[in-house]
């Protein structure tokens, strides 16, 4: 089997946070990244492009967030002489800030626990027949 490299699998412990409202994902890592991109670009379309998603997909994610929270997280203005645009609301800024802070705390706790679990793992999984 020339040309095939064998690597030891990367060992990690990953935690992903999703805020659920019923069956709907009200907020999670992708929606947080979308809010960051909206803040950076000033538009849903630009944010979608920046993230490699269609305008429709980005708009559906914004719509879901706005439906799940008491106050909208994103405010859109239609085009016209002013040119339209999209921005985060105060609630959007607050939710994004709190979520990022929670992510940082969870990452710290996860790393601490990972250091106690890692020595108990094999170097690679056993191969079964």
100-117: average pLDDT: 93
| DSSP H helical ranges for 8-68 | 29-41, 44-51, 55-68
Domain encompassing residue 94:
26-110
- Does the residue 7 lie in any domain? no
Q: How many domains does the chain have?
A: 1
pLDDT over 60 (residue 81): no
* pTM of the entire predicted model: 0.82
d(CA 120, CA 79): 58
Share of the chain above pLDDT 90, in %: 73
CATH of the domain at 102: 1.10.10.10
Q: Which two tokens stand for residue 90?
A: 């105060």
Residue 1: the pLDDT is 45
- Does the residue 79 lie in any domain? yes
Per residue in 24-77, pLDDT (tens digit) is: 999 999 999 999 999 999 999 999 999 999 999 999 999 999 999 999 999 988
First to last CA, the chain: 20
């Amino acid at each position: 089997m020339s040309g095939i490299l064998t690597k030891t699998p990367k060992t990690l412990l990953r935690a992903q946070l999703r805020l659920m409202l019923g069956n709907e994902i009200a907020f999670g890592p992708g929606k947080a990244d979308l809010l960051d991109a909206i803040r950076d670009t000033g538009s849903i379309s630009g944010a979608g492009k920046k993230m490699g998603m269609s305008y429709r997909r980005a708009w559906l994610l914004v719509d879901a967030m706005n439906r799940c929270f008491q106050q909208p997280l994103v405010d859109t203005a239609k085009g016209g002489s002013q040119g339209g645009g999209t921005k985060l609301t105060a609630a959007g800024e607050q939710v994004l800030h709190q979520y990022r802070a929670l992510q940082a705390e969870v990452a710290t706790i996860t790393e601490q626990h990972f250091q106690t679990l890692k020595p108990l793992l094999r170097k690679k999984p056993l191969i079964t027949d």
